[in-house]
Amino acid sequence: MSIRQNFGISFAKSQLAAGNKIPTSGTCFLSFIDADKKHAVEIARGLTEQGFTLVATGGTQKIISDAGIACEKVLKISEGRPNIEDIMKNGEIALAINTSDNQTAKKDAEQIRQIVLRMGIPYFTTLSAARAAIEAMKQMHDDTWMMPQALQDYLIQ
């Protein structure tokens, strides 16, 4: 649990407490199921506005690139090598956002979850969590967001 007067900071602190520290820079891996691809540009734009470089699987990358946002294509684990697993193991990914629904994607998603857990890469599997992470990044400009506050400060007004 985290409490703050600002949703973004509250979310960032909750993720930190859960061991999923939201990065503020680096390369983000994106892979969306077909139903979520209509939101790919919004998520990609939010990430690039925060200074992230993007890599994505084929269909997601095409949508993002077609919208004029720089995004490099990366192979799914099931598509051969070098793939997203290789890139993650090389320490090149700071954040992963991956939604899945079909059998192939589920197998890839399962392998990606195992890798991000081993590598300690922050990982989100829903659009709402991706949006919340972007909102958190907007508020995490300096270390003051980590300053503790007493619960009483919120109750006594």
CB 145 within 8 A of CB 136: no
Average of pLDDT values for 25-34?
96
**Digit-coded pLDDT (tens) for 66-103:** 999 999 999 999 899 999 999 999 999 999 999 877 65
**Least reliable range by pLDDT among 2-6, 15-19, 58-62, 67-71:** 2-6
Whether the pLDDT of residue 156 is over 70: the answer is no
Q: Counting Cβ atoms within 10 Å, is residue 96 exposed (0-12), middle (13-18) or buried (19+)?
A: buried
This prediction has a pTM of 0.89
User: What secondary structure letter does DSSP report for 148?
Assistant: -
**The predicted structure's pLDDT at residue 104:** 53
**Digit-coded pLDDT (tens) for 102-154:** 655 677 788 888 999 999 999 999 999 999 999 999 988 877 676 777 777 76
CATH of span 25-126? 3.40.50.1380
**The predicted structure's pLDDT at residue 64:** 98
Buried b (16+ CB within 10 A) or exposed e, 30-60: bbbeeebbeebbebbbbbbebebebbbbeeb
What is the H or E stretch that residue 10 is in? helix 7-17
Q: How many other β-carbons are positioned within 10 Å of the β-carbon of residue 69?
A: 16
Minimal CA–CA distance to 99: which of 52, 60, 69? 60
**The predicted structure's pLDDT at residue 109:** 80
Distance (Å, rounded) from C-alpha 131 to C-alpha 122? 14
Whether the pLDDT of residue 55 is over 90: the answer is yes
Q: How many other β-carbons are positioned within 10 Å of the β-carbon of residue 133?
A: 26
Rg (CA), the chain: 16
Domain segments of the chain as ranges: 25-126
Determine phi and psi for 98, rounding to 5 degrees: -145, 120
